[in-house]
Every structure is written in C-alpha cells, then in structure tokens.
A and B are shown apart, each in its own frame.
Chain A
C-alpha cells in the first residue's frame, strides 16, 4: 500500500513545484533552486535510538523564449530516511531515494489563462533496514508520463488563481515479486510474479488559491496491469486490482503581528477492490479472509505556529494529527486474530522549535518532538502500532 500512495504523491508533488517558479521579466534564463535538509535522532519507546532525515534538492531553469512562451526544466533529488511514520505506512528503518526530471512548456493564451503541458521521468530506489543495495529494493519504482495543466488568474492583486490539471503516469516496479506465492510454488518465480505491482495512474486535480489561502480537490485512479483481486477462497480472481483516492484539502499561510500561522487540513477517501488473506504462518491451511481490506478514510491536520521574537529569531510549536479509519478492516488481537472492531490508527506529533533566519533566502531550525501513536490493532510483531517516541534534530532550508 505504501508504494501506491507514494507514487501518487510524487506525481502531484513534482507538478506543484513546477508551478512555483516564476520568470523574472528582465532575464531570458531564471534559475530555480530549493534545498532543504532535516536530520534527527529518534528514540522510540519500543526499540533503540536511531537517526534519520530528509534531503530535498530541486534545481531548475526557466527559459523565456518569448513573452508568452516559456520552458521550464526541473531536477529533483529526494531522500527520505528512517523515521517515525503513521501506522500501516512504512517501517521506521525504511528509506527511499528518488531522481525526478520534469520538463514543462508554458504558453500564455491570454493575460489570465496559461496552459502547461509537460513530461516527467522519475526513478525511485527503496531499501529496508537490512541495508540491501539500492538497486535491489523490492519496491524500486520507475515512472514516466505527462501532464496538462491550465491556470486561470481571477484576481491579480491578491494572487488569486485556479489550476486544473490532469496527469498520467506509467509506473513499473522492476524488482517486485510476491514472496508468498514464490515460497508456495518454487517452480514459478519471476516469470509468474514479475510486474505484479505495475500500474497506470491518472490524476485530476482542481486547486484554487487566493491571498495565501489555498484548497484542492484531487482524484487519483490506479489501474494494476497484472495484480488480480484475491477471492475468499484464497485464489486470485480474474478481476484486476483498481484503487482510487479522493482527497480534499484546505490551508493558508498568514502573518499576524508576531505570529506566523500555516495550518492545513486534508481528508482522503481511499477505495480498493483488493481483499486480503491472513495467513498466520507459512502453510496455514485455514487462512482468515479480510474483504475490502484496504478501504479507509484518513484525516490529517497540521497546525504549525511561529512567534517572531526578533527579526531573525522565532520560537515555534506545531501539532500534527493523522487519523485513519478503515471501512471494513477489523483490528487484530495480540494473537493475530481478527476482532469485531474496525481498525482505527491515530498518530499525534507535538513539536517545539527555535528558528533562525540567516538571511532572506536561508533559515535553520532546531526542533524536538513528541510522537504518540495508538491503534486498536494489537498485533505488533512486524510493525509497531502503539508507541511513544521522541525526536530531536536540525533542519536547514535555502531557496531561491
């Protein structure tokens, strides 16, 4: 599930960044540079201390051929290191590294309407705490595709515009294999299991923005090329897996006196026709069936607040909440048996920080966080669902 959601966000994230670069009137070429880095130590209540962080580097160039025709190229390096994560998403020690290339042509049709067709290429590597080589990651992913976006400016004074975008991706997981199927039928390996996660993804989004308020409606569909839906007999049916996400979000970035506030709320409805067979051990002859196992609704709320003590220094606090409630999936008890309760995962993060602005383009932040994760799922042999943790670290950002 994690790689599916990830692929959707990669596509959407890159597209959003592309829109951010703006040409300077006097220049033919305008560079775009954004580098941020976070490194932290994590101390969970279950397990030992570990370190992790994130690096994001975006370098791009906007070329102005004529007043109405622009071309924008962007390279994005992203590293996601070990860290706490919402339940059912990834292990603490999982890491990912991706290279993204995006080229976009911008055509101003009128003063208020702009079209932005583009192409995209992304390569992502994933590795677990076993430190396998990056090239061997089970969930390594390559994607290619394109997008067409249109911007309509309705209020130039308050920077009010609305963007409609459709993007398409062809996603391949070259190393993915169904390990359970391989184990159960050792004569059939890659030729049977290869390409199970390969998929096409289409996404439509509508995003209005005005006076530093923003909102969005995003609909994503993932069609699996080979993965079939498992039936309650434990045998794959002839129906291919199909997932969809419908997400709405709202937020703003405003300053009031010494306060800087940037809250954001989003709500996602994930639907999948895939089911789940729960094998308690290899060779289990009476597995339990979980129908519509992956459908969930997720609410995320983020409320960061900075108080500018001086022009350079600020103290900050933030609260982040994530609540995922499954439609049909029931929680498991400590013995790995389904209970009658629907599974609900909660994760709350409280953060305190000190920020220093080095100059108008650079800042550094020291932070410490308390994470509280709880769930009514009590089977935690492979992934923790109920824990507390501390993290403390440093973050840098330099953008132009």
Chain B
C-alpha cells in the first residue's frame, strides 16, 4: 500500500509540472456545435449503449435485456433487447460456431412527454432499432471470439412551435429531421473474469458511415457494466449499466 501511495504522489508531482488550464466555456461551445452539426450521430452513440452485441453465454438459449444507464437514465430511452440462440457451438457438427440472433427497440420517453406538455415543442420523435447475428467460437476453454453483423437505425425528429424557436450559437433552430442508418461489422473476444463473470472487448464498425466504437464489458448473471468508447463521438466515454436475464 505504501508503494502505491508513493506512486500516486509521484504521478501527481509529474502532472503538476506542466502549465495548462482548461477553458470549459470554449469546450462547451465546441461540444454544442458538434451536437448541432450531427444530432443523429450524438443520439446514436447512446443507442449503441443499449445494444446487446455479445454472444449468449454457453448453454443459454435466449435472453432479454434493458439498458439502464445512460440510456433509460438520464436519456429516457425506454428499451428492450433480446437474443436467441439458433444453435450452440458444436451442436450441428464439431467445430460449427454458436449462432445467435440479436435485436432491440427503443423509444425516448422525454420526446413523448415534451410533445404532450411543452409550450415550445410542437412534435418530437426519437427512437430506433437494431437487429443482427453473432457467431461465436471457442479458441480455448477460457477464450471465445465472436463475429457479427448488425443493422442499426435511428430516427430523430423535433419541431418547435412558431415563435418559440430556441437560439443556439446565434442560430434560430426551427426543427430538425434527421436519422442514422448503417450496417455494422462486429468483432470481439471474451474471456472469464471470475466464476460466472465474463469480460469482453469488441469493435463495432459501420460500413457506410465509418462510425466505429470500442466496447469493453464486464457481465455476470444479471448485470453488465461497460465502458463504451466513441473516439470520433461528441462524448467519447460512455459508462454503461445494463440489466439482463439469460435463460
């Protein structure tokens, strides 16, 4: 423990040697500008947080999942996902990989409420879905690799009432109607972290939009903790908390 404290102290001393300051106002303006430039991309990053793109654990036939954070809270993405195993690894013939179908749907609750109660928003629709397949094969008793495809789609429409349009960065915003649609290639690897607990890292790459993300996940019987990283996204780090049940 002493060694750890000394190390931390050394790191802070190193850190203090550089002279730098963060201009948070400028950073905030930059982030707002990036969201306005590509709102669909910003909201789609959250859709990726709820997408279940890891294979079913060996021996499980299907599962249901819902994203809790940052999707249900605070983004109000009500969502449900599912996985179904078509066949287990080696069941049809030795060496044939496990094949799972995946899919899910979400709808933003805040958009519905805003349309109903807001004095400024005339109509709003935020929602999306995804579907695909994951193939997984064991490399050793402790390592499993998986490959997959998913089709993802998002619709984002917002219209403000006449005379109530907000101003962002000096521009009056009347409405936006945008969306996101792409086919993704998925590659990942999974390894046990403990009894009944798994750890995985995967790459999701959009073939048309060249959107990509790295998803790191720890998951057990009911919960998944993750760190999704969108290097080209507005918010690069997304801590993720999902709930699932496997049968």
Contact = CB atoms under 8 A, between A and B. Distances in A.
Contact of B139 (A33, A52, A95): A33
B214 interface: yes
A360 B193 CA distance: 10
Nearest to B233: A51
B72 interface: no
Interface in B62-77: none
DSSP class of A's interface residues: helix, strand, loop or mixed? strand
Contacts of A35: 187-189, 201-203
B216 A358 contact: no
A44 B202 CA distance: 31
Taking residues whose C-beta sits less than 8 angstroms from the other chain, chain A's interface range is: 35 or more
Interface in B1-57: 3-4, 7, 10-11, 14-15, 17-20, 22-23, 26-27, 37
Nearest to B20: A43
Identify the interface centre among A315, A350, A394: most chain B CB within 10 Å of its CB: A315
Nearest to A125: B210
A39 B231 contact: yes
Interface stretch (A14-22, A100-108, A384-392): A384-392
B189 A33 contact: yes
Contacts of A31: 137, 139, 145
A186 to B, nearest CB: 30
A45 interface: yes
Contacts of A77: 203, 205, 212
Contact of B203 (A55, A352, A369, A371): A55
A43 B143 CA distance: 38
Taking residues whose C-beta sits less than 8 angstroms from the other chain, chain B's interface range is: 35 or more
A15 B17 CA distance: 40
A277 interface: no
Contact of B145 (A33, A43, A49, A362): A33
A294 B19 CA distance: 32
B199 A362 contact: yes
Interface in A26-58: 31, 33, 35, 37, 39, 43-45, 48-49, 51-53, 55, 57
A390 B15 contact: yes
A29 to B, nearest CB: 8
A39 B18 CA distance: 20
Interface string B111-154: 00000000000000000000000000101101101000000000
B11 A352 contact: yes
A55 B7 contact: no
A368 B145 CA distance: 31
Given A44-B20, A400-B140, 6 more contacts: A37-B229, A43-B20, A53-B231, A307-B3, A398-B189, A400-B143
Interface of B: 3-4, 7, 10-11, 14-15, 17-20, 22-23, 26-27, 37, 137, 139-140, 142-143, 145, 187-189, 191-193, 199, 201-203, 205, 210, 212, 214, 216, 227, 229, 231-232, 236-237
